[in-house]
């Protein structure tokens, strides 16, 4: 056999071995669920949903086949590229729906903030691995700085949802790297007190003439809408009211596939994207939502297991952070649709329609698979 | 700070952190699960109701308005279906541009635009507002072909109200118009808001107004599933609308036409009543107007023309305008004298041609007087002096007390809106009417004027006709009514029973005497010329209502401006022994009663009793009437 053919066989073997059966099962379950729900929420989008899924699975597979250490080696270039592109967006980006988020690079439009969701935890994990054994206050400060710059660039687009997600992604790496509770607790306290006071003084703060300075008008609106959905029943508050009605009217068994009145009579906004969870809840009831929660829990369990047994510090941190990102997506989306969190543009992971988010999430799964593979490789 | 630890220590801490993170995630998921439990189990019923409320809308189906026919079934008000072009403003971005584009397909007059604006101002934004009514079939076809260009514009089949006889009997039938804010308030006061959901029109005057409740019908409701945009997706259930009830009138529209024609261009009123029932046979107020103008919202120009006309065509003189009754009051005064015992059938007096009271000389029309005058002659020749004396003997309180039961000075209760009270003068009335103490006092001289139907006396034609009907119906007074039957959608008739208001106690001998005198009025008295050659016996009385009192000099018609001339009255009933018709005619500024009003009465009675018109209508332009009032 020629050298060339041995190499090719090796690649094929590695590709097959790269797939983690548990993660693959979870992923296919979620995507199958997504197709079924899309068949009710927006049947005309089923084809492209399937195409996005196929594309995302291929991307996942490719990433899974790359050894995890080599992936971490890509962290710095990706991070730098992402940051440069974000600067480009803020300067030359296209405005859509009141925000400058897209960059036209000639062939296609890309959303650099999406890249940051993966590049940020990779960058920080890579950095902490470089400093392994010497991680101290200085390293945490530098990591904090690496986090703040791109988040700031995303925040001015303005895109509250993505900047929160990128912040969370970076924070999880820092948290797993061992940032002292002495620092975490005060920050958490400030956050809780801050949110608590906003809720307490919501009425005064949400007067139309009050300028919040820090947050944009639409962000203020979103927070205020959460505090009192009824004050704006036909705007954003209308969305929350209608999605709560959809969920609640579903009951235990649901109204049945394609029988959701809230969905099919257009009372539900964004029913194929951010509010698709309400469609699921209305048509499949409490049972459907608990099945979804259980599937996500399985995903998280597998992710944490991979993190616990990951071979190096960098892969450990990255696996832990990616798992928590999945959790964050799921919790924020379901929390928002069911009315316990503000409306931020976070999709329901692996279910909501939209190619970019699905590819990003599947890249995350691919990284987890790659890390799992490295551990097995190391053992043997 | 955990610095420079061993990799094992680092790893142990990482594991603890993973456990913390996993617990955190678990707690959050538990929070979500409890939220779902709360929404989907605990409050499921509430949210299910909310979802159903979202989904189901009640759409009103407007009932067909009842029709109006006369006593012989001639249609006076009906509905017809026509296409309208309607715009839902909330679904259109640029109204002006849309209307301009539409005007290239269908004719849209400036008038249509003005009306559209007016209706738009009064309607809620999600209502559809007509820009054109009564589209031709061509126009409908042209629009349908281009419909895709016009979001929020639709062709609707609607029922329209039509008054086929136009201006005939317009004051009786009235008209409908679009519901405005004031109507809405009234509907709300009636507690009828639900029944008017979807209704666009309401009766604004005449029977259309007074019988609104019967004519409107019950709005039906269709339960439909709607989407978030409020568009009906499918029907779930329906309760059909109940059409409004039809009205059958006591009115004879042919008689009405005869009466209206008899008035010609003159202003005036006529009320003809069937004495035995109180049913109105004809009720005329001239000039009339075309009620069809009002249905779609009257144009500003038409409105101005009607409203600013010195002839006040919109005014229903028959029930709203009160005039001094003049000498038509005398038969009632004679009854008052007889009933109270101040006069007896054998009484007679010598008439010197005047009556002195308090230093003032009240004149008779005939210089030198009528000689010996009894009750009979006083009516036939319309002797003033006889009634000056009688009024003085009776006193104002006795006069008012006797007249009130006949309905003088109070609303008859006819089933038309906007009736006036008129004035039955009395010291009490004067106290109420005037503020200044010197004006509040009743003077004896005023009683003398009241005695011949002048002075403060003011009655509407319907009051006079109804009082006459009671007088010739043995004192039985009815509430006059125009509607005879109310017919529901299944054809069941509900008869409007004649409603007797009271029985006035009158001596039959007295009534016979007065009626005999009234018959002689038309044989040899003031009404003789108008009723020459009549094929029936008819009782009547002429009257002249003074518009302008000439101090000193005698009234010479030709010298007085038309608007200041006296109003001409005539009351009559026939056949004399068993009256089928009692009527009051008033011609504004018509001069002597015998001159203008009596010939109209002749035509109406001839037509009603004989179904033909007099061969030689009395020539009103002939020189002076022989016998004066």
Is A287 a member of any domain? yes
Is A187 a member of any domain? no
Neighbours of B151 (CB within 10 A): 12
The answer to whether residue A287 neighbours chain B at the CB level (below 8 Å) is no
Chain A residues with beta carbon closer than 8 angstroms to that of B41? 251-252, 286
Q: How far is CA A198 from the centre of its chain?
A: 26
Q: Residue B126: which pLDDT band, with cuts at 50, 70 and 90?
A: low
Q: Residue B504: which pLDDT band, with cuts at 50, 70 and 90?
A: very high
CA–CA min distance A192, chain B (Å): 15
CB contact (8 A) between residue A313 and residue B10: yes
What is residue A207's predicted lDDT score, i.e. its pLDDT?
64
Q: Residue B628: which pLDDT band, with cuts at 50, 70 and 90?
A: very low
Task: Answer whether residue B125 shows pLDDT above 80.
Answer: no
What is residue B207's predicted lDDT score, i.e. its pLDDT?
95
Closest-CA residue of B relative to A278 is: B36
Task: Answer whether residue A194 shows pLDDT above 50.
Answer: yes
The answer to whether residue A353 neighbours chain B at the CB level (below 8 Å) is no
Task: Answer whether residue A152 shows pLDDT above 70.
Answer: yes
CB contact (8 A) between residue A176 and residue B41: no
Q: Residue A181: which pLDDT band, with cuts at 50, 70 and 90?
A: confident
Which residue range(s) make up the domain with A329? Answer: 29-65+233-380
Closest-CA residue of B relative to A175 is: B17
The answer to whether residue A239 neighbours chain B at the CB level (below 8 Å) is no
Q: Residue B627: which pLDDT band, with cuts at 50, 70 and 90?
A: very low
Distance CA(B573)–CA(A76), nearest Å, equals 116
Chain B residues 17-36 within an 8 A CB cutoff of chain A: 17-18, 21-22, 25-26, 28-29, 31-33, 35-36
Q: Residue B624: which pLDDT band, with cuts at 50, 70 and 90?
A: very low
Best residue in A128, A247, A249 for a mutation probing chain B (most B CBs within 10 Å)? A249
Q: Residue B367: which pLDDT band, with cuts at 50, 70 and 90?
A: confident
Is A10 a member of any domain? no
CA–CA min distance B68, chain A (Å): 44
Chain A residues with beta carbon closer than 8 angstroms to that of B2? 135, 178, 180
Task: Answer whether residue B250 shows pLDDT above 90.
Answer: yes
Q: Residue A215: which pLDDT band, with cuts at 50, 70 and 90?
A: low
Distance CA(B283)–CA(B251), nearest Å, equals 8
What is residue A259's predicted lDDT score, i.e. its pLDDT?
83
Is A364 a member of any domain? yes
Give the one of A134, A251, A261 whose C-beta lies nearest to B40's C-beta: A251
pLDDT single digits (tens) B145-190: 888 888 888 888 888 899 999 999 999 999 998 888 888 888 888 8
pLDDT single digits (tens) A308-355: 999 899 999 999 999 999 999 999 999 989 988 877 778 899 999 888
Q: Which residues make beta-bridge pairs with B477?
A: B502
Q: Residue B621: which pLDDT band, with cuts at 50, 70 and 90?
A: very low
The answer to whether residue A309 neighbours chain B at the CB level (below 8 Å) is no
CB contact (8 A) between residue B39 and residue A244: yes
DSSP B508-558: HHHHHHHHHHHHHHHHTSTTTTTTTT-SS--EEEEEEE-SSPPSSS---GG
Q: Which of A144, A209, A215 is nearest to A177 (CA)?
A: A144
Higher-confidence residue of B578 and B498: namely B578
What is residue A231's predicted lDDT score, i.e. its pLDDT?
52
Token pair 């409004």 in the structure block, residue? B244
Give the one of A248, A267, A308 whose C-beta lies nearest to B39's C-beta: A248
What percent of chain B has a predicted confidence (pLDDT) above 90? 50
CA–CA min distance A325, chain B (Å): 11
Give the one of B33, B35, B50 whose C-beta lies nearest to A249's C-beta: B50
Range name among A74-78, B309-313, B408-412, B507-511 with the lowest pLDDT average: B309-313
CB contact (8 A) between residue B35 and residue A178: no
Average per-residue pLDDT in chain A? 84
CA–CA min distance B221, chain A (Å): 21
The mean pLDDT of B388-406, rounded to a whole number, is: 94
What is residue A61's predicted lDDT score, i.e. its pLDDT?
92
Range name among B54-68, B441-455, B578-592 with the lowest pLDDT average: B54-68
Closest-CA residue of B relative to A131 is: B4
Is A279 a member of any domain? yes
What is residue A185's predicted lDDT score, i.e. its pLDDT?
86
Closest-CA residue of B relative to A294 is: B29
Closest-CA residue of A relative to B32 is: A335
What is residue A60's predicted lDDT score, i.e. its pLDDT?
94
Is A308 a member of any domain? yes
CB contact (8 A) between residue A175 and residue B21: yes
The token duo for B583 is 């009527």
What is residue A137's predicted lDDT score, i.e. its pLDDT?
87
The answer to whether residue A167 neighbours chain B at the CB level (below 8 Å) is no
CA–CA min distance A189, chain B (Å): 16
Return left, alpha or beta for B484; rule: phi > 0 is left, psi -120 to 50 is alpha, else beta: alpha
Q: What are phi and psi of A15, to 5 degrees?
A: -60, -45
The answer to whether residue A259 neighbours chain B at the CB level (below 8 Å) is no
CA–CA min distance B1, chain A (Å): 7
What is residue A2's predicted lDDT score, i.e. its pLDDT?
67
The answer to whether residue B231 neighbours chain A at the CB level (below 8 Å) is no
CB contact (8 A) between residue A300 and residue B22: yes
The token duo for B73 is 């079934």
CB contact (8 A) between residue A246 and residue B51: yes
The answer to whether residue A158 neighbours chain B at the CB level (below 8 Å) is no
Q: How far is CA B606 from the centre of its chain?
A: 28
What is residue B282's predicted lDDT score, i.e. its pLDDT?
95
Provide the domain count of chain A: 1
Distance CA(B22)–CA(B537), nearest Å, equals 114
pLDDT single digits (tens) A87-120: 888 887 776 655 666 776 665 667 888 889 999 9
CB contact (8 A) between residue B48 and residue A340: no
CB contact (8 A) between residue A178 and residue B13: yes
Q: Residue B575: which pLDDT band, with cuts at 50, 70 and 90?
A: very high
pLDDT single digits (tens) B536-561: 999 999 998 887 554 444 455 555 66
Which residues of B form the catalytic set? 327
Closest-CA residue of A relative to B229 is: A266
Q: Residue A237: which pLDDT band, with cuts at 50, 70 and 90?
A: low
Q: Residue A1: which pLDDT band, with cuts at 50, 70 and 90?
A: low
Is A223 a member of any domain? no
Give the one of B2, B7, B25 whose C-beta lies nearest to A180's C-beta: B2
Closest-CA residue of A relative to B230 is: A265
Beta-carbon-side half-sphere exposure of residue A46 (alpha carbons within 13 Å): 12
Task: Answer whether residue B325 shows pLDDT above 90.
Answer: yes
What is residue B215's predicted lDDT score, i.e. its pLDDT?
94
3-class SS of residue B378: helix
Neighbours of B62 (CB within 10 A): 18
Range name among A243-257, B256-270, B605-619 with the lowest pLDDT average: B605-619
Chain A residues 64-83 within an 8 A CB cutoff of chain B: none
CATH superfamily of B253-610: DD-peptidase/beta-lactamase superfamily (3.40.710.10)
- For chain A, give the secondary structure using H, E and C: CCHHHHHHHHHHHHHHHHCCHHHHHHHHHHHHHHHHHHHHHCHHHHHHHHHHHHHHHHHHHHHHHCCHHHHHHCHHHHHHHHHHHHHHHHHHCEEECCEEEEEECCCCEECHHHHHHHHHHHHHHHHHHHCCCCCCHHHHHHHHHHHHHHHHHHHCCCCHHHHHHHHHHHHHHHHHCCCCHHHHHHHHHHHHHHHHHHHHCHHHHCCCCCCCCCCCHHHHHHHHHHHCHHHCCCCHHHHHHHHHHHHHHHCCCCCCCCCCHHHHCCCCCCCCCCCHHHHHHHHHHHHHHHHHHHHHHHHHHHHHHHHHCCCCHHHHHHHHHHHHHHHHHHHHHHHHHCCCCCCCCCCCCCCCCCHHHHHHHHHHHHHHHHHHHHHHHHHC
The answer to whether residue A357 neighbours chain B at the CB level (below 8 Å) is no
CA–CA min distance A287, chain B (Å): 10
CA–CA min distance B15, chain A (Å): 6
Average per-residue pLDDT in chain B? 87
How many CB pairs (< 8 A) connect A and B? 140
Chain A residues with beta carbon closer than 8 angstroms to that of B29? 293, 296-297, 331
What percent of chain A has a predicted confidence (pLDDT) above 90? 42
Domain boundaries, chain B: 85-132, 253-610
Q: What per-residue string of b and e applies to B225-252 under the rule 16 or more CB within 10 Å gives b?
A: bbbeeeeeeeeeeeeebbbbbbbbbbbb
CB contact (8 A) between residue B55 and residue A265: yes
Is A250 a member of any domain? yes
Q: Residue B508: which pLDDT band, with cuts at 50, 70 and 90?
A: very high
Range name among B17-31, B145-159, B269-283 with the lowest pLDDT average: B145-159
The answer to whether residue A251 neighbours chain B at the CB level (below 8 Å) is yes
Return left, alpha or beta for A256; rule: phi > 0 is left, psi -120 to 50 is alpha, else beta: left
CA–CA min distance B201, chain A (Å): 32
The answer to whether residue A275 neighbours chain B at the CB level (below 8 Å) is no
Q: Residue B438: which pLDDT band, with cuts at 50, 70 and 90?
A: confident
CB contact (8 A) between residue B18 and residue A261: no
């Amino acid at each position: 056999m020629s050298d060339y053919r041995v190499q090719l066989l090796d690649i094929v073997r590695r590709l097959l071995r790269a797939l983690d059966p548990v993660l693959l099962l979870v992923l296919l379950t979620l995507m199958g669920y997504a197709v079924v729900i899309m068949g009710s929420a927006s049947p005309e989008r089923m084809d492209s949903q399937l195409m996005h899924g196929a594309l995302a699975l291929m991307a996942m597979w490719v990433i899974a086949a790359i050894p995890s250490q080599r992936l971490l080696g890509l962290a710095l270039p990706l991070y730098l590229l992402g940051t440069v592109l974000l600067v480009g967006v803020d300067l030359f980006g296209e405005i859509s729906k009141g925000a400058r988020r897209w960059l036209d690079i000639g062939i296609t439009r890309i959303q650099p903030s999406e890249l940051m969701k993966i590049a940020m935890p990779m960058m920080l994990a890579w950095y902490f691995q470089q400093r392994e054994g010497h991680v101290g206050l200085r390293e945490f400060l530098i990591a904090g700085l690496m986090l703040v710059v791109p988040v700031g660039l995303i925040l001015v687009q303005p895109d509250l949802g993505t900047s929160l997600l990128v912040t969370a992604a970076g924070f999880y790496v820092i948290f797993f790297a061992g940032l002292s509770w002495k620092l975490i607790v005060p920050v958490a306290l400030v956050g809780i007190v801050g949110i608590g006071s906003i809720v307490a003084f919501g009425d005064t703060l949400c007067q139309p003439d009050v300028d919040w300075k820090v947050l944009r008008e639409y962000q203020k609106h979103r927070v205020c809408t959460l505090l009192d959905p009824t004050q704006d029943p036909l705007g954003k508050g209308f969305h929350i009211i209608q999605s709560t009605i959809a969920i609640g009217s579903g009951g235990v068994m649901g109204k049945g596939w394609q029988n959701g009145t809230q969905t099919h009579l257009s009372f539900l906004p964004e029913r194929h994207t951010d509010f698709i969870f309400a469609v699921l809840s209305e048509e499949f009831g409490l049972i459907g939502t608990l099945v979804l929660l259980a599937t996500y829990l399985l995903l998280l369990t597998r992710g944490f297991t991979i993190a616990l047994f990951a071979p190096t510090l960098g892969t450990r941190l990255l696996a832990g952070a990616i798992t928590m990102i999945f959790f964050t997506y799921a919790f924020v989306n379901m929390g928002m649709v069911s009315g316990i969190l503000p409306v931020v543009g976070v999709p329901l992971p692996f279910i909501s329609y939209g190619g970019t988010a699905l590819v990003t999430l599947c890249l995350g799964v691919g990284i987890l698979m790659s890390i799992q593979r490295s551990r097995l490789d190391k053992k043997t | 700070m955990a610095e420079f630890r061993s990799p094992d220590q680092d790893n142990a801490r990482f594991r603890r952190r993973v456990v913390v993170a996993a617990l955190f995630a678990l707690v959050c998921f538990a929070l979500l699960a409890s939220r779902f439990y709360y929404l989907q189990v605990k409050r499921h019923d509430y949210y299910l109701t909310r979802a159903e409320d979202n989904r189901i809308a009640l759409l009103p189906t407007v009932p067909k308005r009842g029709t109006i026919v006369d006593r012989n079934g001639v249609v006076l008000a009906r509905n017809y279906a026509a296409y309208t072009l309607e715009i839902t403003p909330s679904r259109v971005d640029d109204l002006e541009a849309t209307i301009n584009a539409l005007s290239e397909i269908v004719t849209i007059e400036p008038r249509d635009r003005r009306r559209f604006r007016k209706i738009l101002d009064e309607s809620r934004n999600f209502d559809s507002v007509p820009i054109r009514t009564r589209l031709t079939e061509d126009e409908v076809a042209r629009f349908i072909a281009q419909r895709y260009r016009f979001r929020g514009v639709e062709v609707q089949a609607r029922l329209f109200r039509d008054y086929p006889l136009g201006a005939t009997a317009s004051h009786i039938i009235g008209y409908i118009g679009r519901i405005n804010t004031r109507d809405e308030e009234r509907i709300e006061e009636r507690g009828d808001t639900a029944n008017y959901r979807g209704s666009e029109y309401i009766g604004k005057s005449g029977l259309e107004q007074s019988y609104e409740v019967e004519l409107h019908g019950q709005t039906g409701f269709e339960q439909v599933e709607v989407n978030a945009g409020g568009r009906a997706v499918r029907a779930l259930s329906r309760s059909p609308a109940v059409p409004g009830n039809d009205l059958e009138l006591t009115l004879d529209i042919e008689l009405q036409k005869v009466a209206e024609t008899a008035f010609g261009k003159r202003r005036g009123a006529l009320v003809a009543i069937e004495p035995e029932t109180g049913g109105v046979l004809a009720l005329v107020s001239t000039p009339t107007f075309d009620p069809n103008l009002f249905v779609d919202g009257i144009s500003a120009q038409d409105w101005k023309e009607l409203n600013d006309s010195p002839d006040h065509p919109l005014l229903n003189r028959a029930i709203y305008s009160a005039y001094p009754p003049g000498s038509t009051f005398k038969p009632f005064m004679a009854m008052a004298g007889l009933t109270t015992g101040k006069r007896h059938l054998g009484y007679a007096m010598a008439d010197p041609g005047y009556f002195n009271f308090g230093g003032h000389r009240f004149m008779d029309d005939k210089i030198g007087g009528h000689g010996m005058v009894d009750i009979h002659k006083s009516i036939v020749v319309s002797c003033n002096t006889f009634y000056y004396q009688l009024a003085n003997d009776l006193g104002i309180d006795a006069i008012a007390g006797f007249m009130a039961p006949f309905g003088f000075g109070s609303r008859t209760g006819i089933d038309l809106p906007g009736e006036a009270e008129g004035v039955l003068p009395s010291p009490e009335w004067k106290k109420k009417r005037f503020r200044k103490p010197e004006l509040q006092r009743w003077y004896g001289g005023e009683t003398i004027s009241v005695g011949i139907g002048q002075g403060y006396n003011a009655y509407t034609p319907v009051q006079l006709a109804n009082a006459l009907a009671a007088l010739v119906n043995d004192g039985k007074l009815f509430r006059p009514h125009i509607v005879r039957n109310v017919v529901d959608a299944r054809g069941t008739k509900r008869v409007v029973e004649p409603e007797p208001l009271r029985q006035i106690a009158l001596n039959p001998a007295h009534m016979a005497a007065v009626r005999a005198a009234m018959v002689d009025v038309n044989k040899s008295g003031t009404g003789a010329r108008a009723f020459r050659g009549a094929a029936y016996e008819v009782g009547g009385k002429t009257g002249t209502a003074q518009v302008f009192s000439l101090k000193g000099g005698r009234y010479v018609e030709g010298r007085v401006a038309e608007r200041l001339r006296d109003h001409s009255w005539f009351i009559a009933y026939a056949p004399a022994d068993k009256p089928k018709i009692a009527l009051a005619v008033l011609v504004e500024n018509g001069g002597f009663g015998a001159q203008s009003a009596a010939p109209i009465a002749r035509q109406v009675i001839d037509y009603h009793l004989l179904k033909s018109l007099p061969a030689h209508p009395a020539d009103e332009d002939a020189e002076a009437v022989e016998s004066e009032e």
